[in-house]
Structure 1
């Protein structure tokens, strides 16, 4: 369901009724005559729809985390807020940028429209910027020839799809001065080659049994999930086009199963 499009259609309908009533219909009603319901209701809902549409389009938008690909940073059931303007102002519905602001940085938690099906929103961490060379070898991340520092934090377990516990190792990964946590399951290969698809700029990547190397094209970004061995990400379906970017995730505003997560910033 394309909720922004639905909101836009409702905004146009209610706004048009308000305008037509102001210009024509109101003048034809007798003094003291009540507004018909099909005018009263749209006029009541128009300012609410306008506020919601403006906030979702230009300021913040709520999302719910549906999968465990970003564990331990984000858990299934987290409700998050996404900053819509930090990377620039975009036209609603069309998602066309009309004003540049900031560019995504390595380590940002990015919400974007899935390249293979833009009707689906994905959330992953930005690993590679345009021009970067990304290597993932034996579960070690290397960017532009620099081995990314990792520090072991301890064991981590979580329930996957209600079938039982998954046991992984938790590490701190340093893409910038700040660190974030990732999970690595030592019992799973770092690359499931059978899941690699054909995608745009596929020739920019070289795959091996132990990993891959990809050069990020201009106007594209390379993303990975923090739950490295349980994530469908850029190593399988390719690069994220700049025009697919929705915004930067910055806070968890609700979780029905764990109130302690409410208000946590997303790093």
Structure 2
């Protein structure tokens, strides 16, 4: 009888330990940092497919979007931040909130699908944003651009989606060298970062976008391969992003996997450990 009670007590203590660990992890993800794995090439070369980073949730304060989400399609788990904390949303406010700065790389919830996106802030509330011949214009003024050679990568299947990159030098077969034009873009506040271009397309010449109050305008650094605020939500784009939909700021890459799995440590890129995100 004593052995059964001991065994039962061990099981109860194990369950309690697991529950406490999950609660602590949930609080940590809600208040401080959220892990994020880059699934696409829309932010190359700043972020590569397979980069693993933590999103700083303290940077902009908290809203309903700060609540954690958990998606494990293999077992049918799809718990969204809105499912847990949606009752806190709708007023486009945050507590202890600081506003994003132009040039920040930010994770936010897609205004329609709720999926997490990561892009760069280029337009602030009340500003006018336009692309003219691939050049970003803010309030009618073009940003400063400096040619920075060519970005190259080997054409191979990338990430869990196993997609291949688009190339400026035409259709390139597996194992070939993919090229994109690289420029250094300097925003009005002095923040600089690299951007990539493939060729002129519709998103390189746009109408003027007037950013509503309480909203932000985001674009990807890989300009011709990014679904962002240049596209309306009706066109499967992002549109203007409400302040309350922001999750946090991406500051530093922890490590980066060039393989199809985050855990394929033999494919980790040796030059991206703890790399600062500019």
- Normalising by the residue count of structure 2, what TM-score does the alignment of the two structures yield? 0.72
Instruction: Tell me which structure has the larger Cα radius of gyration.
Output: 1
- Rate the CA distance shift 1:171–1:98 in 2: closer, same or farther, 3 A: closer
2:126 aligned with 1:125:
no
Deviation readout 1:124-156 (Å, 9 max, x if unpaired): 001111101001111111101221001111111
C-alpha root-mean-square deviation of aligned residues, in Å? 2.2
1:1-267 correspondence to structure 2 within 5 Å: 33-34=5-6, 35-36=8-9, 39-90=12-63, 92=67, 93=81, 94=85, 96=88, 99-118=95-114, 120-158=115-153, 159=155, 161-162=163-164, 164=174, 165-175=177-187, 176-185=189-198, 187-191=199-203, 210-236=205-231, 237=237, 238-256=239-257, 257-267=268-278
State whether residues 138 and 190 of structure 1, in contact with CA within 8 Å, keep that contact through their aligned partners in structure 2: no
State whether residues 63 and 79 of structure 1, in contact with CA within 8 Å, keep that contact through their aligned partners in structure 2: yes
State whether residues 129 and 222 of structure 1, in contact with CA within 8 Å, keep that contact through their aligned partners in structure 2: yes
Distance in 2 between residues matched to 1:116 and 1:33, nearest whole Å: 52
Judge which range, 122-131 or 33-42, deviates more: 33-42
5+ unaligned residues in a row in structure 1: which ranges?
1-29, 193-209
State whether residues 190 and 229 of structure 1, in contact with CA within 8 Å, keep that contact through their aligned partners in structure 2: no
Distance in 1 between residues matched to 2:225 and 2:207, nearest whole Å: 17
Distance in 2 between residues matched to 1:117 and 1:98, nearest whole Å: 21
Give the aligned length.
Answer: 218
- Normalising by the residue count of structure 1, what TM-score does the alignment of the two structures yield? 0.75
